[in-house]
Amino acid sequence: MDISRLSLCDLAEHLRSRTLRSADVTQLMLDRIAASGLGAFIAVLPETAMDAARAADRALDAAAESGTALPRLTGVPVALKDIYDLEGVATTGGMGFRHDAIATRDATATARLKAAGAVILGKTALTEGVHAEHTHFPAPANPWNAARWCGASSSGSGVAVAAGLCYMGLASETGGSIRIPAAMNGVTGLKPTWGRVSRAGAFELAATLDHVGPLARSAADAAETLWTLAGPDPRDPTATHRRLPPLAEIPGDVKGLRIGVDLAANSAGTDPEHVAAHEAMLEVLAAAGAEIVAVRTPDPSEMIWDWFAICATQTALAHRDTYPARRDEYGPALAELIEKGRSLAGMELQDVIRRRREFRGAFEALFGSVDLVATPAMAFSAPRTEDMARASDEIITGLHRFTCPYTMSGHPALSMPAGIHGDGMPINAQLLGPLMGEAALVRAGMAFQAATAHHLRHP
């Protein structure tokens, strides 16, 4: 048994049955992080992680003797993207001048992972200000091919999960930074509905676009994490009070589930191998009992570029205390985004807001006739890192086409491994759900992964 490649759910079973001990597994993860050379972490916390693991083992031993049930994440080693406050540790947000920004309390997401018994290994690498470039900290290396891009901004969490350095990497998405690293690194990413998980204590990029969610090894692992994190929070009034159904009540099959697909829109400009992987996913789900329904999705083209206006304005607001006062300490991409936000005219912004609301409504209307919508996750596999340094409009469109529109609309999405490209890089496919429809996404994702082994492949 390769312990480093167990799923979160399988590891949890071993820990509960006491066939594995959290301290041993945590030490294994720490050793792998130290030996990897991938740069997935900004900060590793060996002492606190081992203390938490030993405490988890004591709790698991007592629970095994008494028959008491503990949270399923008890003793499971996980990692946090370095936007989530962890008391006593700096939250850099990928920014050099925040190396001494020591958190005085946990983010809500951090606190909920701790309350569930998870062992926090450290803080994973990300781009500057949760935006586009690794300016102040080295970029992680894609474990499939070091010459290929590993995604932004949750790059470190994607690399860590793919390389077997943790069992879940808590990530965030503002434009595509759960689903893009999921696709670049061949792991499963679950972007919840906006507001499903509290953002309290998370370093902000753009308030109405920021989503909190996991990068994991399977849909079941992602679901276990989301169900731990979700719920209302007095620290974040935008966090929804709408409850998720218990995981145990989610059907184990997809019989009768209607999945909408717009084959023309999905294939236009998409690499043929990615189209084929997307269609193969549909065939698997159809064979399992789902009904594939032809739909016409709203044109996402404006959302791809309107995203920049929304993000820029809200980023400028988030940085008003340090920009322009500390302009010289900002990298070019983040500074350019903020300058755009500071200069955007009110009427222009209002027009973007109107289009955003119309797209959201048009996409949500599809779920009157289907339960989910399927698309490719990306238009192509991981670009070369050198090409991302001067990303063309074609590359930006290919990365954003299946991601940005649905952060703009706030709809939940699941990106899952669906094959390996001829160039050796992973291919992911995507399912999108109605607002607050994560249960249907998880249902379909688990069914797809029960019938295939794509998510079990690793670099």
Residues taking part in catalysis: 81, 153, 177
- Omega before 392 within 30 of 0, i.e. cis: no
C-alpha closest to that of 308 among 397, 233, 239, 230: 397
Distance CA 78, CA 166 (A): 5
| Crossing angle for the helix pair 301-318 and 332-343, to the nearest 10 degrees | 90
Distance CA 402, CA 435 (A): 17
Under a CB-based contact definition with an 8 Å cutoff, are residues 285 and 219 in contact? no
Under a CB-based contact definition with an 8 Å cutoff, are residues 117 and 56 in contact? yes
